[in-house]
Homo-oligomer: A and B are copies of this chain.
Amino acid sequence: MPELHYPEIRALGLFSDMADAHFQSLMRGAYVQNFPPQIELIAEGEPSDFLHVVLSGSVDLFSTWNGRDTSLATVRPISTFILAATIRNAPYLMSARTLEKSRIVLIPSQDVRAIFDVDGIFARAIVTELARCYRAVIKSQKDLKLRTSLERLANYLLRQQKRAGGGASFELDVEKRRLASVLGMTPENLSRAFKGLRPYGVAVEGTRISIGDQADLERFARPNPLIDDFST
């Protein structure tokens, strides 16, 4: 892999503190690849041969069963995915596909496990990352089980607004049909849910969302850090 990318990978919390020799050794076996949009990177059920790091672009994690499918998460730069499968040397639970042109680092899983076994600092960094991911899924589980689809959408918009800088107007950065899947509903229902939020001051124009009355929307959505704050 070109050393050019070392610094940005090294900057990830997962790799930032480990011994340099170990980092170099991981990188030696890794390689970078550019993928066009809509390429399936991994399929659920396959053995976890590589830990993936998204350098640019974005990746959809999804799953399929009995003819249905659902989006579980979106991975954005710079972060890793399928860490848990790599560590447990177990099959992938989710499939992954690029949403746009993406540059992705592939690190052989056996290298990751080997370094994990000898580098306590790396092991601890993995713990921190896994704990973060675990808590994120629990939050998402609570979102799904405790809220109606309208409430999920309202809270999603508030989160996205925050991510986009907090202004009254912002862009959705996912396709609506994917958003519907992430929120656990059909595209048709997402359309209706947007209309359902109109009484709370939400206006939609294509991918642009405007929140007319912040307080009103929040009164309806009741955002909660134990569900919506993905930083803890």
Residues of A with Cβ closer than 8 Å to B? 44-45, 63-66, 68-70, 72, 83-85, 87-88, 90-91, 93-94, 116-117, 120, 123-124, 126-128, 130-135, 137-142, 144-147, 151, 184, 222, 224, 226-227, 232
Contact = CB atoms under 8 A, between A and B. Distances in A.
Contact of A88 (B44, B91, B128): B128
A63 B227 CA distance: 10
Copies of this protein chain in the complex: 2
A226 B145 contact: no
A66 B152 CA distance: 13
6 A-B pairs with the lowest CB-CB distances in the bound complex, closest first: A120-B120, A84-B131, A65-B146, A70-B145, A130-B130, A134-B134
Given A93-B226, A134-B84, A135-B88, A65 B128 contact: no
Contacts of A141: 72, 137, 140-141, 144
B72 A138 contact: yes
B120 A63 contact: no
A138 B128 CA distance: 18
11 contacts: A63-B226, A65-B227, A70-B142, A70-B145, A72-B142, A93-B135, A117-B124, A120-B124, A127-B127, A130-B134, A137-B141
